[in-house]
Chains A and B, each alone.
Chain A
Amino acid sequence: MEQTIFSLLELNLNVKEAIRQNFDEAYWVRAETSDVRPHRNGHCFLEFIEKAQDGHSIVAKARGTIWASTFNLLKPYFEQETGQSFASGITVLVKVVVNFHESYGYGLNVVDIDPSYTLGEIARNRMLVLKQLEEDGVLELNKELPLAEPLNRIAVISSQTAAGYEDFHNQLENNSAGVIFYTKLFPAIMQGDRSEPSIIAALEEIFKYQSLFDAVVIIRGGGASSDLSCFDSFNLATNSAQFPLPIISGVGHERDVTVLDAVAHTRVKTPTAAAEFLINRAVETINHLMGLQDRLVHASRNILTIEERQLAAWSKDLYHTSKSVLQTNRNTLMFLGEKLRSVVKQKMEREHFAIKKYDHFVSLSSPEKMLKRGFSITTKNGKVIKSISNLSNEDVIKTQLSDGIIESKIVDKK
């Protein structure tokens, strides 16, 4: 019997031709990227896969190539439109040309891409995840956690090697408020398909020491933008949503809001913004404290001033009142003194008058005056004679006149 034997090359070339003839157009294909390897020369090599409904087993696979001339345009275009890097693990809609090479086998050459499909897929997934979280009642849990005061013990989930953590740490260390922060890095893989379990493991580690921390900061940054899809994962989101410490998420791009961003307590755009958020809170805390201190000083000074014024007023009153009392007393004394003087004067005058009258009377009655007026004093043997009965004739009597004494003998009495 005759068997047609082909050389491998001949077989492959035939297959190659058959494919070229039957698949001569470019086809829009949706598939998941895997093992994306940009090459130094600008070309990009990757694998396209399709997973089964359960999301685990792979049902279709194809090698992919994007030549440099295409990739140089495609990559920035895709990244700008989706905000995601062209990396493994994303669902894309690409326009491909089928080729079969006799040595390299089956492959798809990418000539175009529709980023809106990816966007749509990303958005759709996010919606599904968010919806599930809401149904589970966990969507808002982390947001409802109160922020401690002060908020300065921070568990950081970030890449061990990337500069993100260093910058973050330095910012906090040198903050202008002078607040001390305590940070501890719980390293994790922040991109690619190993990131989800890695970050979850970090969260579990932090959970063990949750009493040592006030918050968790998840940051990623510095340098190449990469695939955010791990932050849209349900597992990570549900773990984060239910985490007992507030989570500050700083993994996103400018405009992308990942599911993690949506469930985290606070979302910031960059590690720098995360540090600023923490520092601002610390500044607020300090300002509040300083405000209280000011009020304390102010209020107590106020009270002291009021007391001082009161005392001053009283002492002034005291001064014036006592001065016035003294004055009144002085016046009274003066008045009394005057009165005394006047009363005394009057009395003296009365006495004088009285005495003058006596004096006058006395002087009128004085013997000298009487004598001068012609009266005389008769004495007998030194005794004053007031009656003639004491006298007889021949008695010798002395008679005192105003200017002398005469001696006489009585010759007759009547």
Chain B
Amino acid sequence: MKKEELTYTAAKEEIEKIVGLIDSEELDVDQLAKHVKRATYLVDYCKKKLTSTDEELQKVLEELSV
């Protein structure tokens, strides 16, 4: 079974949501820390998806007999 994996699109949507929340200045400082932490994690996740090789995928493609 494939575990529920965060997709790039979903991650980006969440980042946008958090940024919007922070922008609106409705967060108090405690929540701010929590949300910034989450958003930073998501940004890193997206960056990694783009710039570092998914070894598993690479392997699968190479092994495709065409």
Residues of A within 8 A of B (CB): 149-150, 152-153, 178-180, 182, 184-187, 205, 209, 212, 282, 285-286, 288-289, 292-293, 295-296, 299-300, 302-304, 306-307
Contact = CB atoms under 8 A, between A and B. Distances in A.
A182 B16 contact: no
Give the interface size bracket for B toward A: 20 to 34
Given A153-B57, A303-B27, A292 B12 contact: yes
Given A149-B8, A149-B9, A179-B50, A289 B25 contact: no
Contacts of A292: 12, 15-16, 19, 43
B12 A149 contact: yes
A334 to B, nearest CB: 43
A300 B50 contact: no
B32 A303 contact: yes
A170 B8 CA distance: 25
Nearest to A209: B64
A205 B61 CA distance: 13
Tell me if B's interface is mostly helix, strand, loop or mixed: helix
Interface string B27-66: 1010010001001100100110111111001101100101
A299 B61 contact: no
A296 B20 CA distance: 9
Given A149-B8, A150-B50, A212-B57, 15 more contacts: A149-B12, A179-B51, A180-B50, A180-B53, A182-B54, A289-B12, A289-B15, A296-B40, A299-B22, A300-B22, A300-B36, A303-B25, A303-B29, A304-B29, A307-B29
Contacts of B15: 289, 292, 296
A212 B43 contact: no
Contacts of A303: 22, 25, 27, 29, 32
B9 to A, nearest CB: 6
Contact of A212 (B8, B39, B60): B60
B56 to A, nearest CB: 11
B23 interface: yes
7 contacts: A182-B61, A186-B66, A209-B64, A289-B47, A292-B19, A295-B19, A307-B29
B43 A296 contact: yes
Contacts of A285: 50
A157 to B, nearest CB: 10
Contacts of A209: 64
Contacts of A289: 12, 15, 43, 46-47, 50
Nearest to B49: A150
Contacts of B52: 180
Nearest to A202: B66
B43 A184 contact: no
A292 B50 CA distance: 15
Contacts of B27: 303
A312 B42 CA distance: 33
Which residue among B29, B32, B40, B66 has the maximum number of chain A CB atoms within 10 Å of its CB?
B66
Contacts of B60: 212
Contacts of A212: 57, 60-61, 64
B7 to A, nearest CB: 9
Contact of A182 (B39, B43, B57): B57
Nearest to A206: B66
B55 to A, nearest CB: 11
